[in-house]
Amino acid sequence: MARPELPLDPTEGPLPRFAFDLRGLRAAAGTPSYRELAGRTHYSTSTLADATRGLRKPSLEVVLAFVRACGGDPDEWAARWHALDHTPEQVDRWSLVRAALFGAVAMAALIGFPAVVRRARRTTPRVPATG
């Protein structure tokens, strides 16, 4: 028995929307199994399932084979696939964490560190120079 697909929120961005619509196309074709689609397309079941996960952009060849196997319009889907290149890049959570850490370090270096140095200069007792 096949595992159920994980829920997909099409409002999360263009790539999840694209994958969501691929799932809709498959549903409109009678929900053939990925094994059945693999037989029609000559792509593996995991490759076809990945195309509908919305985590990364599938290749155009996989999308067109999937669309043809489900009775969709290849020209429409090719245009939609190309349009994904003209949308803002999906940002993963680790990229956001790295950016936040870099920003914090940069701010400490630019603002925090000199302030600490200035404070240290004011509080360090001066030793008279001996000649």
CATH number, residue 40: 1.10.260.40
Mean per-residue pLDDT, 110-124: 54
Please report the pLDDT score of residue 6 as a whole number. Answer: 86
Sequence-separated (6 or more) residues with CB below 8 Å from residue 60:
78, 81, 82
Q: Please check whether residues 67 and 105 belong to one and the same domain.
A: no
- Tell me 109's DSSP state: I
In a domain, 131, yes or no: no
Q: What is the pTM of this model?
A: 0.66
What is the pLDDT at residue 1? 59
Give the pLDDT score at 109: 58
Instruction: Tell me, yes or no, whether 106 and 62 share the same domain.
Output: no
Asked if 14 and 31 sit in the same domain, the reply is yes
Residues in the chain: 131
Across all residues in the chain, what is the average pLDDT?
81
Widest distance between CA atoms in the chain? 95
Query: CA-based angle 9:10:16, to the nearest 5?
Result: 95
Q: For residue 17, give Cα distances in angstroms to 38, 52, 53, 58, 127.
A: 23, 10, 10, 13, 69
Whether the per-residue pLDDT at 122 is higher than 80: the answer is: no
Residue 78 scores a pLDDT above 70: yes
Domain housing 59: 10-86
